[in-house]
Structure 1
Amino acid sequence: MKFLHRGLYALILSVLFANTLSAEYLYKDEVIFNPKFNESVEELGAELYQKTGISLRLLMLKELPHDKKNIVEYEKEVMKNFSTPTVLLTFSEMDSQVDILAYPTSLYEYFDKRQVLSPISSPVQAFVIALLNFDFSDMSSGGTILPLLAQKAKKGEVLGKYSGAMFNGYADIAEQIAKSKGIELEHAVGSANQTSILIVKTLFYGIILIGIYMYIKRKLHLKRQANNE
């Protein structure tokens, strides 16, 4: 009987210890619960920390605590738990919010927060939107999270969309930090997949631009004909 109690105690300790290890860089996960997702984040996060001394942590929340007014307030509270230079990438499903908080603030020098959180994925898309709105004041693009989160997902594929979008953003931040530090990451996602997506989107929005051009050209032609008559 004592042996059983000892075995159960050892099992509980091993499970708790394993959970502690797995929660190092995927600091909190109330949404995905996918071992492969966990493993990918842990591998990339551990390598980044080993080579740069910067902890990049991902928080996947179901919903923000009711005593927190916004996601930034929550991040500032969580940040108190860390003693090393830390970047928090936080997603709250029910609140539909994503944010990045870095401490110390000098860490923002190593990655482009505005680009990562841009709702626009490509320069071509940014140009088309600016053209349609007749506003070229903000042409920021290159978003690696929000464009994916904005896509419609079939029933049963929502968690896949969340994990894909958030890991895409996590990897983007990690690779930017690594590049700023002059190092390479073995577990980096790389730009091959993003390049393929960019090519497809460039072709797609290129066709839209041609359509807009032909439409405007025809309108001007009809207007000239009407004036001549």
Structure 2
Amino acid sequence: MTLRTLALTALLIAAPAQAATSLAEVQKALAATQTLQADFVQTAADGRQARGTMLMKRPGRIRFDYGPKASTLVVADGSRLSFVDYKVSQVSQWPVRQTPLGVLLDPDADLARVARVVPDADNPMPGKIAVLAQDPKRPDIGRILFFLAPDPGAPGGLRLSGWRVTDAQGNLTTVELGNIRINAPIADSSFRFRDPRPVVRPPGKTG
């Protein structure tokens, strides 16, 4: 094989990743991804890992199940992202749009305002498209670096494959996706949860 042939082969192999480097193409692929189901591996800042299944339904819905024995659940119902801790009967909530995941869950998100495609030289995942998103008006909500893999069978030719979220304190959480199914039906009821908090009744009322 000649050097010229080797060079042409390298270009052909790199072409799928290089072809979709504009935010417009990324936004088109995300817009065409209405639902997503996947297995995930989550790595926390201290190196601890958790595994489970993820459901995503745009706009605004996502669910991370950590297994039947887990005491925690992360779920967004379209407006609020909830971290549910059944062990201590607590629920912490934030508006979805005020979290780093908001850019992935909002089909109307203006990527041109909050995101940029990472140059190949700075891309930590060669062969994938890396997009860094952070709202310049809300640096307090952290940032997300998400990755899309070239996939001719995926809507828009790109498949979401994972992300890295850095919170306002600089803590990094990585999520890697596998066994991905795109645009299969998912019921809205999948994004509800059992609230473990005790019911507080007004004074004087019982039953």
| TM > 0.5 fold call | no
More strand by share: 2
Whose relative contact order is higher, 1 or 2, with alpha carbons under 8 Å and at least 6 apart? Answer: 2
Larger Rg: 1
Q: TM-score w.r.t. structure 2 length?
A: 0.29
